[in-house]
Structure 1
Amino acid sequence: MTPKEVLAHIRQREVTTVDFRFMDFPGVWQHFSIPADALTEETFEEGIAFDGSSVVGWRAINEADLLVVPQPETALVDPFTAQPTLTMICNIHDPITHQDYTRDPRNIARKAVSYMRSLGVADRFMLAPELEFFIFDDVRYAQNQHEAFYHVDSVEGAWNRGRAEQPNLGYKPVSGLGYFPCPPTDSLVNLRTEMSQRLAECGIKTAAHFHEVATGGQCEIDLDSQDLVESADQVMMARYIIRNVARNSGKTATFMPKPLYGDNGSGMHTHLTLWKNDEPLLAGTGYGTLSDLGLYAIGGLLKHAPALCAFANPTTNSYKRLIEGFEAPTKLSYSRRNRAAIVRIPVSGASPRSRRIEYRCPDSAANPYLLFSAMLMAVVDGIQNKIRPGDPLDKDIYDLKPEELARVPTTPRTLTASLEALRADHDFLLRGDVFTPDIIDTWIWYKISNEIEALRVRPHPYEFALYYDI
């Protein structure tokens, strides 16, 4: 919609409130609201001032002011508010220069697309993320000076088979065997269907939804392919919808990568395609029926894979998912079918338009604007410099001899290692001023100070089991 059409839509739907959404630096949606009659056409040009120093990773207190500038094409009526509320996603501007604020993740994504187009590499970079998440019935956690614990519960939990549920009706997925069971074992099908319907009402198309491998209510909803910025917008709206549908049903949804020990974690496998003049660029006669350009794109992803993990797997918990087993993508290689490789070329139809590359490493804790932008910059680097991806990993890794397996590099084992890789390898992100040295430095500083060090200095509950009687 245009600004005029947004205002007309507000009158037509008798909207009382306008809600502005924007992305903070780590990757959490923020918002504030104004009365609907306070929105004017000028708002779309001039924006509305807010305190940027209170947003994580942004302004210092002595230069706090920033502007939110609503984007009319993102307008939709919120399906969860009690009063009719129209939401819009916003870009962030500097109030003095009225230029895009460099630390706004959405602005970084827009710059990445512009950079790709300026090079003539492609005119569309499209992504289709697969959102995996857990739905629990109860969650409790605390971290204080004298205690640290978490407890999650799910009526689907394999650990609940013997629980007195008055009555306990059984049909609980076995750990590691939760993939594709029919109801009643899949007790969440109606909830996922409602989530998909709400997504459709908000203009977000889904390709499929189903129960995932883990016990304890692990689900997946796959989104249709969209251009980079729109895809990141839809990931954020999808998370919002999934969480609120779950909550309205008396449950809780989490995109935490590894909430359950000893079972599969949640990823965000992302399928990517490149287009120019509406022609697909990935299809060809090479390995996996890819073009040379497609293989170069994989080469770029693999070359920069450790650094990309700083955005694809941005939490300490992410690396509890990236371990051997549980179908985790830990091998820095590519394959048509081996799901241990971080890049897969899915078996698809004969049409060149269906050819795609699946980047399996990311998880849903990622800031999608930063992740998708970093992926694009790695792909562009691979294409520009004709980076060959090496030999594919088509063997079952469990059949490889130890010395052969040792030659296949793996993903970083910790967030610290990923950030060190990013510190050493980020020049490809700086091209076209898409990312800036300030963004890289701030990301590394924030993650070390607020997550790595915060975890390092606190006793872990398992340490009591290991050392209390030492």
Structure 2
Amino acid sequence: MKYTKEDIFRIVEEEDIAFIRLQFCDIFGVPKNIAIAASQLESALNNECMFDGVSVEGFVRSGESDMYLYPDLDSFEIYPWRPQSGKVARMFCDVYTADKKPFAGDPRNVLKRVVEKAKSLGLNFKINPEAEFFLFDYDDDGQPTTRTKENGGYFDVAPADQGENVRRDIILNLEEMGFDISSSHHEIAPAQHEIDFRPENAERIADMIMTFRMAVKTIAKKHGLYATFLPKPTEGISGSGMHINIIAEDEKGQNLFASENGGLSDTAQYFIAGVLSHVKGMTLITNPIVNSYKRLVPGYDAPVNITWSSASANRSALIRVPSLRGQGTKIEIRNPDATCNPYLAIALILAAGIEGVEKKLTPPTELIENLGHASEDELRSSTFETLPRTLGEAISAYEKDPFIKETIGESIYNKFLDAKRAEWQDFRSCVTQWEIKRYLNLF
């Protein structure tokens, strides 16, 4: 939807909107917003809304604090789950410095730069994510747990699937906000769910991921359940990922990943090669927390090896090419999870693929066998490279790949690295219950 300032003034008045949230996020993808009354809308639409960047994680260098929010008018939507009297709407915003320049530390700005480069090369990307999440119970004190009363599995229906009504409510709310939902289902683990939406351009899809995470959590709570995108909240079952499907089109809308013979084009293979060449360094962004690496282990529905496969059934590959061909040809990147900053993760994946196209890189040998049941020792001793096993290994890979800093910029690169080093140090000094159970009676 394309909006003018006049459109927004009219909608605010006609819909009795009382508050507008000017939304952005920090470098870790945590949503932030400034709420203004409708009476202050004109000032916001004139890009005059200022905030103190010191309070936002990773935003400010020494001496910089005054930041301005430039609303994206086309992102204006009403929150359907908020009260219908005195409604609440939101607009995503780009962050600018006091001298009216795009802020280098704004993740949304990073993605914009990558998309602009792609367009200059005649590449238009459409993306649809597959975000998984769990619905758990609260305890008697109202605190979230990892407990559930259900035992549903893949594609189960009610009563085994006790989250069916929650998913329905989430979808209805999202559709009111302009989401085009393609499907939803119960996932493989008890209390695990997935909702998929149709492909959109890269910038809009990152905004949609931010909205999706907020909607899922808010609506689940209304149903008395706690929604979490934590990659591995419970040991012994499959974790939650966020597969990212990518389609590349030319200016006429023709699929550039499709070949005339029904296979993959050279462009598709170049793109795959580019992503795989940088996937280790990108993992700190696509899988950014300690818990992310509890999901990326052998024996579950998550990739461990750095491989690709055009056989749609081979879900052990990091990059899979789903079976649909022709105009539907797409590439699925399977390692990211939904704790990532979607702007930075998508920007890096696209930038890596673009580099592959520009340099005409050759992908590694295609994975033929299915390694889904291979042990960690078998994977580590194979000829295939593997993803980092821990946040510590991901930090090391991030530091070794200069492409990461070139893409996301020095400011975000350094602040992200400092924060993740501190997080890893905190974890390494933490004594876990596993250690107590394993060792206390032995030593």
Does TM, scored on the shorter chain, surpass 0.5?
yes
Shift of 1:140: 9.6
**Which of 141, 149, 167 is equivalent to 1:155?**
149
Alpha-carbon distance in 1 for matches of 2:346, 2:374 = 34
Helix, strand or coil for the counterpart of 2:239? coil
Alpha-carbon distance in 2 for matches of 1:462, 1:347 = 41
Aligned position for 1:102:
104
Aligned position for 1:63:
64
**Which of 237, 241, 246 is equivalent to 1:267?**
241
Aligned position for 1:135:
135
Shift of 1:365: 0.6
Deviates more, 1:98-107 or 1:403-412: 403-412
Residue pair 1:265, 1:321 contacting (<8 A) in 2 also: yes
Tell whether 2:282 aligns with 1:313: no
Shift of 1:197: 0.9
Tell whether 2:93 aligns with 1:90: yes
Q: Aligned AA for 1:356?
A: K
Shift of 1:404: 10
Shift of 1:110: 0.6
Q: Aligned AA for 1:226?
A: E
Q: Aligned AA for 1:125?
A: F
Pair 218,404 (structure 1): closer, same or farther in 2 beyond 3 Å: closer
Aligned position for 2:170:
195
CA displacement, residues 345-364 of structure 1 (integer Å, 9 cap, x when unaligned)? 0011x5x2100000001000
Alpha-carbon distance in 2 for matches of 1:179, 1:232 = 27
Pair 387,140 (structure 1): closer, same or farther in 2 beyond 3 Å: farther
Helix, strand or coil for the counterpart of 1:271? strand
Aligned position for 2:255:
280
Pair 268,467 (structure 1): closer, same or farther in 2 beyond 3 Å: same
Residue pair 2:131, 2:338 contacting (<8 A) in 1 also: yes
Alpha-carbon distance in 2 for matches of 1:62, 1:291 = 49
Shift of 1:61: 6.5
Aligned position for 2:73:
72
Residue pair 2:22, 2:90 contacting (<8 A) in 1 also: yes
**Which of 390, 397, 400 is equivalent to 1:421?**
397
Residue pair 1:322, 1:330 contacting (<8 A) in 2 also: yes
Shift of 1:63: 2.4
Alpha-carbon distance in 2 for matches of 1:385, 1:139 = 54
Q: Aligned AA for 2:95?
A: I
**1:203-282 equivalence runs, <5 A:** 203-215=178-190, 217-277=191-251, 278-282=253-257
Aligned position for 1:167:
none
Shift of 1:229: 0.6
Residue pair 1:378, 1:428 contacting (<8 A) in 2 also: no
Shift of 1:37: 1.2
Aligned position for 2:304:
330
Aligned position for 2:23:
21
Residue pair 2:12, 2:38 contacting (<8 A) in 1 also: yes
Alpha-carbon distance in 2 for matches of 1:52, 1:261 = 38
CA displacement, residues 74-132 of structure 1 (integer Å, 9 cap, x when unaligned)? 1111122233112111110001x2011111111111111112223x141x111100010
Q: Aligned AA for 1:461?
A: Q
Give 5+ residue unaligned stretches, structure 1. 142-148, 157-171
Alpha-carbon distance in 2 for matches of 1:399, 1:44 = 55
Shift of 1:370: 0.2
* TM-score under structure 1 length normalisation: 0.88
Shift of 1:468: 2.3
Shift of 1:393: 0.9
Alpha-carbon distance in 2 for matches of 1:270, 1:45 = 35
Aligned position for 1:455:
427
Pair 98,403 (structure 1): closer, same or farther in 2 beyond 3 Å: closer
| Regions of 4+ moved over 4 Å | 398-405
Shift of 1:402: 4.6
Pair 65,251 (structure 1): closer, same or farther in 2 beyond 3 Å: same
Alpha-carbon distance in 1 for matches of 2:144, 2:204 = 35
Aligned position for 1:3:
5
Helix, strand or coil for the counterpart of 2:318? strand
Helix, strand or coil for the counterpart of 1:346? coil
Helix, strand or coil for the counterpart of 1:103? coil
Give 5+ residue unaligned stretches, structure 2. none
Helix, strand or coil for the counterpart of 2:184? strand
Alpha-carbon distance in 1 for matches of 2:297, 2:76 = 40
CA displacement, residues 128-152 of structure 1 (integer Å, 9 cap, x when unaligned)? 00010000012699xxxxxxx9942
* TM-score under structure 2 length normalisation: 0.93
Pair 18,60 (structure 1): closer, same or farther in 2 beyond 3 Å: same
Q: Aligned AA for 1:52?
A: G
Q: Aligned AA for 2:278?
A: H
Alpha-carbon distance in 2 for matches of 1:91, 1:330 = 35
Residue pair 2:298, 2:374 contacting (<8 A) in 1 also: no
CA displacement, residues 282-313 of structure 1 (integer Å, 9 cap, x when unaligned)? 00157x71100000100011111101211111
Alpha-carbon distance in 2 for matches of 1:372, 1:7 = 32
Residue pair 1:93, 1:101 contacting (<8 A) in 2 also: yes
Alpha-carbon distance in 1 for matches of 2:351, 2:23 = 26
Q: Aligned AA for 1:69?
A: Y
Helix, strand or coil for the counterpart of 1:152? coil
